[in-house]
């Protein structure tokens, strides 16, 4: 219990004094996760819309697979990306292992199924409503997808935030592909794992509180930018 | 306004990068990193050679694997037989001794197996086995784990046949010490990790000083003949520096709570 209070106090001082190391790893956490989130959204959103408006033979299989992949164990993703990016692996020449890029790749793989599944769920409901109207207007497949994506933007925000939550708190995969290198690939979660390993529970907890605060802050920012939860504009 | 705020944030986020002109990667063991010596040596290296050494902190087994795959430029580990095999199979060019420290036995301060009265490390282990006192093993193929296994062998005991008092946790030194602290168990640790460990709880250092607990660290550059992207010029520079008088001074004067951790013993180049 004492550690909890020590952790809170340390977190407070780290933030108040703007500890340079903390700022660096916190910014790197954001850099990696936000980049991964952006890439993942660019893949997952169109995919979800496509799955909602088109009918093809393997559609159900694809949807079921996406849903199943939501539970993809990050450690396994990390290992697979590691083996592929290792110097002895197929993409070794790119020299990407132990770089933030490798961490971004792993996180994209982890969050795409999650975002796509949640987004698809809401787009499918909306598609039932819009189906007759859009068919009668004889619009193209792309226009259908655009309409759905734009009109479901609130629900898609939730999908994005879920993806952010999974990515920012992830440690198993990025520990393996990033290597937790000081000044290069250390982020908040891997730093927490490191400090726990040293038995420095208070500092580890402090970093944990900073991570939680950061997640909260980013979520608030996204809501603010998206103008949600305001009177008259739900 | 919102656009500006967002762009500023994104700009700030991206503006984090590396500083030194030369960058190389070295895999080191957890025990080396936990000693705090890295924080002493790395800034000096940056100053003297304008070289940034990125450390991958792993167990000796994984460090050797990283070297075999060519994912690092050099390794600094402590398991002589594994190192010699590494050089023999052509993954490393050579093995250069740098410094040594020692292993110590940690256990509950009540000391149910009576380690503090023992003469040798082998005797200590036999006592633990006889008392069936709870013991935590690294179990992760690290240098410390290999040392522990060879000590059991010297004691004519087979960890595979042990009962539930023997716990192989498959974790790094710090995590294993955390487990031992929570279980009030005996554990073999390197001295540096123990001194720097923040969650000692009821544990205490019970036995040390037997020459078999001597722990030699060696530097092994990865063979550029196998992996042509390896920065051989930088590993040469690093090796020269690590075996220089400057490094000797820094290594020998590094202490925690007044205790010297490492003894420099590199031989000058021929």
Taking every pair of Cα atoms in chain B, the longest distance, rounded to a whole number of angstroms, is 74
Closest CA to B18 of B52, B48, B69: B52
Return the domain boundaries, chain B: 21-100+215-264, 103-213
pLDDT above 90 as % of chain A: 68
3-state secondary structure of B111: coil
CATH of B21-100+215-264, one of 3.40.50.970, 3.40.190.10, 1.10.560.10, 3.40.140.10: 3.40.190.10
Does residue A83 sit within a domain? Answer: yes
User: How far, in Å, CA of A157 to CA of A127, rounded?
Assistant: 18
User: How far, in Å, CA of A227 to CA of B133, rounded?
Assistant: 62
A166-to-A77, A170, B174 alpha-carbon distances in Å: 14, 6, 27
In this prediction, residues A75-91 reach a mean pLDDT of 93
- Is the pLDDT at B1 greater than 70, yes or no? no
What is the distance in angstroms between the Cα of A90 and the nearest Cα belonging to chain B? Answer: 12
- Is the pLDDT at A198 greater than 90, yes or no? no
Of A34, A95, A184, the CB nearest to B229: A95
Does residue A192 sit within a domain? Answer: yes
For A149, other C-beta atoms within 10 Å of its C-beta total 18
Confidence of residue B10 (pLDDT cuts 50, 70, 90): low
In this prediction, residues A107-121 reach a mean pLDDT of 96
Half-sphere exposure of B257 (CA within 13 A, CB side): 9
Q: What is the pLDDT of residue B7?
A: 62
User: How far, in Å, CA of A175 to CA of A197, rounded?
Assistant: 13
- Is the pLDDT at A135 greater than 80, yes or no? yes
Contact A12, A196 (CB under 8 A): no
Q: What is the extent of the structural domain holding A117?
A: 2-226
Q: What is the pLDDT of residue B193?
A: 86
Pure H helices in chain A: 2-16, 20-53, 59-69, 74-85, 100-136, 141-151, 153-168, 172-178, 188-197, 201-226
Q: What is the pLDDT of residue B18?
A: 47
Of A27, A89, A180, the CB nearest to B16: A27
CATH code (residue A76): 1.10.3720.10
Of A30, A183, A198, the CB nearest to B198: A198
What are phi and psi for residue A11, nearest 5 degrees? Answer: -60, -45
Chain B hits for A198, Cβ within 8 Å: 34, 174, 196-198
Q: What is the pLDDT of residue A77?
A: 96
User: How far, in Å, CA of A27 to CA of A210, rounded?
Assistant: 12
Of A30, A179, A197, the CB nearest to B56: A179
Confidence of residue A234 (pLDDT cuts 50, 70, 90): very low
Chain A hits for B52, Cβ within 8 Å: 183
- Is the pLDDT at B140 greater than 90, yes or no? no
Q: What is the pLDDT of residue B141?
A: 83
Chain B hits for A183, Cβ within 8 Å: 18-19, 52, 54
Q: Cβ–Cβ of A199/B173 closer than 8 Å?
A: no
Q: Which has more pLDDT, A233 or B29?
A: B29
pLDDT in tens, B23-65: 999 999 888 888 888 999 999 999 999 999 999 998 888 899 9
- Indicate the class that CATH gives domain B103-213: alpha beta
pLDDT in tens, B237-255: 999 999 999 999 999 999 8
- 34-93 in A: which are within 8 Å (CB) of B? 34, 86-89, 92
Q: What is the pLDDT of residue B174?
A: 87
The residue among B5, B10, B13, B91 with the most chain A CBs within 10 A of its CB, best to mutate, is: B13
Contact A189, A169 (CB under 8 A): yes
Q: Cβ–Cβ of A28/B16 closer than 8 Å?
A: yes
Does residue A98 sit within a domain? Answer: yes
User: How far, in Å, CA of B140 to CA of B147, rounded?
Assistant: 12
Kindly report which listed range (A39-48, B66-75, B191-200) carries the lowest average pLDDT score: B191-200
pLDDT above 70 as % of chain B: 92
Do β-strands B51-58 and B255-256 pair in parallel, antiparallel, or remain unpaired?
A: unpaired
pLDDT in tens, B214-243: 889 999 999 999 998 999 999 999 999 999
Q: What is the pLDDT of residue B16?
A: 46
In this structure, what DSSP letter does residue B267 have?
A: P
Contact B168, B139 (CB under 8 A): yes
**Is-same-fold flag (B21-100+215-264; B103-213)?**
yes
pLDDT above 90 as % of chain B: 62
Does residue A45 sit within a domain? Answer: yes
- Is the pLDDT at B76 greater than 70, yes or no? yes
pLDDT in tens, A159-195: 999 999 999 999 999 999 999 998 889 999 999 998 8
Does residue A234 sit within a domain? Answer: no
- Is the pLDDT at B15 greater than 60, yes or no? no
Q: What is the pLDDT of residue A19?
A: 87
Contact A67, A57 (CB under 8 A): no
Q: Would you call A46 exposed, middle or buried from its count of C-beta atoms within 10 A (0-12, 13-18, 19+)?
A: middle
Confidence of residue A231 (pLDDT cuts 50, 70, 90): low
- Is the pLDDT at A59 greater than 60, yes or no? yes
> Mean pLDDT, chain A, as a whole number?
91
3-state secondary structure of B150: helix
| Chain B contacts to A (CB-CB under 8 A) | 2, 6, 10, 12-14, 16, 18-19, 25, 30, 34, 52, 54-57, 68-71, 172-175, 177-178, 181, 196-200, 227, 229
Q: What is the pLDDT of residue B17?
A: 47
Tokens describing residue B100: 């040594």
Q: Would you call B125 exposed, middle or buried from its count of C-beta atoms within 10 A (0-12, 13-18, 19+)?
A: buried
- 130-149 in A: which are within 8 Å (CB) of B? none
- Is the pLDDT at B167 greater than 80, yes or no? yes
Q: How many domains does chain A have?
A: 1
What is the distance in angstroms between the Cα of A142 and the nearest Cα belonging to chain B? Answer: 28
Residue with tokens 């040293």: A198
Q: Which helix (H) or strand (E) holds B189?
A: strand B186-190
Q: Which has more pLDDT, A72 or A231?
A: A72
Q: What is the pLDDT of residue B11?
A: 59
Q: Cβ–Cβ of B173/A98 closer than 8 Å?
A: no
Contact A159, A87 (CB under 8 A): no
For A73, other C-beta atoms within 10 Å of its C-beta total 11
Tokens describing residue A218: 């980013």
What is the distance in angstroms between the Cα of A202 and the nearest Cα belonging to chain B? Answer: 10
């Amino acid at each position: 219990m004492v550690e909890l209070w020590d952790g809170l106090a340390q977190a407070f001082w780290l933030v108040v004094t703007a500890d340079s190391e903390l700022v660096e790893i916190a910014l790197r956490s954001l850099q990696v996760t936000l980049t991964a989130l952006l890439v993942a959204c660019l893949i997952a959103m169109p995919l979800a819309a496509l799955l909602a408006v088109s009918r093809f033979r393997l559609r159900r299989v694809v949807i079921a697979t996406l849903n199943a992949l939501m539970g993809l164990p990050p450690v396994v993703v990390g290992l697979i990306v590691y083996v592929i990016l290792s110097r002895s692996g197929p993409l070794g020449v790119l020299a990407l292992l132990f770089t933030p890029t490798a961490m971004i790749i792993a996180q994209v793989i982890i969050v795409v199924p999650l975002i796509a599944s949640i987004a698809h769920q809401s787009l499918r409901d909306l598609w039932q409503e819009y189906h007759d109207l859009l068919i009668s207007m004889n619009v193209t497949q792309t226009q259908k997808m655009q309409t759905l994506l734009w009109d479901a933007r609130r629900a898609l925000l939730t999908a994005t935030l879920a993806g952010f939550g999974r990515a920012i708190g992830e440690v198993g995969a990025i520990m393996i592909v990033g290597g937790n290198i000081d000044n290069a690939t250390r982020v908040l979660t891997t730093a927490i794992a490191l400090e726990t390993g040293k038995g420095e529970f208070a500092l580890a907890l402090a970093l944990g509180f900073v991570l939680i605060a950061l997640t909260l802050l980013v979520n608030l920012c996204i809501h603010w930018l998206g103008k949600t939860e305001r009177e008259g504009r739900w | 306004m919102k656009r500006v705020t967002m762009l500023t944030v994104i700009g700030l986020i991206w503006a984090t990068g590396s500083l030194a002109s030369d960058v190389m990667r070295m895999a080191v063991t957890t025990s080396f990193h936990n000693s705090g010596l890295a924080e002493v040596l790395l800034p000096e290296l940056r100053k003297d050679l304008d070289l940034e050494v990125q450390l991958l902190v792993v167990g000796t087994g994984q460090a050797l694997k990283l070297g075999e795959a060519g994912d690092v430029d050099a390794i600094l580990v402590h398991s002589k037989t594994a190192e010699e095999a590494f050089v023999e199979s052509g993954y490393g060019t050579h093995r250069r001794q740098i410094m040594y420290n020692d292993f110590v036995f940690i256990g509950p301060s009540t000391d149910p197996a009576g380690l503090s009265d023992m003469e040798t490390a082998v005797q200590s282990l036999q006592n633990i086995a006889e008392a069936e006192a709870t013991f935590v093993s690294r179990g992760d193929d690290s240098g410390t784990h290999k040392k522990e296994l060879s000590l059991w062998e010297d004691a004519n005991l087979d960890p595979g046949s042990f009962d539930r008092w023997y716990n192989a946790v498959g974790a790094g030194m710090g995590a294993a010490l955390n487990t031992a602290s929570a279980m009030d168990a005996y554990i073999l640790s390197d001295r540096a990790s123990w001194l720097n460990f923040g969650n000692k709880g009821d544990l205490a250092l019970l036995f040390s000083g037997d020459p078999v607990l001597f722990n030699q660290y060696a530097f092994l550059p990865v063979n550029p003949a196998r992996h042509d992207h390896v920065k051989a010029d930088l590993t040469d520079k690093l090796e020269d520096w690590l075996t220089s008088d400057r490094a000797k001074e820094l290594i020998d004067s590094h202490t925690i709570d007044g205790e010297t951790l490492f003894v420099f013993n590199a031989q000058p180049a021929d």
